[in-house]
Amino acid sequence: MHEMSLCEGIRRVVDRAASDPGIARVTRVRLEIGRFAGVEKPALEFAWEVVMRGSKAEGAALEMIDLPGRALCYDCMETVEIEHRLDPCPNCGGGKLMPDGGDEMRIKDMEVI
């Protein structure tokens, strides 16, 4: 389950960002997760609860924002949204697509008090 190690990395970033003495705790963290990132959201939610124990983010809400899969179609030269990596172009039906988005996962922002 690589979601546990993902959460450990997120905790390091959150701990660093919340290290200011004026921050009592983190109340919410918003993640942007691409369609092709390979993240199992239920496993990430479970890992979140376990990994954040004892940190300023313990009990913080985890909000996951879905990002679409994107690809450049070499047939019509348009950037399009796709559901699956091997989908044809939704505009022209072409099959020469180069994925260029949707595999990212990043912290968008976090709320602190």
CA distances from 23 to 29, 35, 38, 84 (A): 14, 33, 33, 41
The answer to whether the beta carbons of residues 98 and 72 sit under 8 Å apart is yes
Rounded to whole angstroms, the Cα distance separating 59 from 75 reads 49
Residue 7 among known ligand-binding residues? no
Residue 89 among known ligand-binding residues? yes
99 by Cβ neighbours in 10 Å (0-12 / 13-18 / 19+) ranks as middle
Residue 84 among known ligand-binding residues? no
Q: Which residues contact 27 (CB under 8 A, 6 or more apart)?
A: 60, 61, 111, 112, 113
Residue 2 among known ligand-binding residues? yes
Residue 76 among known ligand-binding residues? yes
Annotated binding site for Zn(2+): 73, 76, 89, 92
Annotated binding site for Ni(2+): 2
Annotated binding site: 2, 73, 76, 89, 92
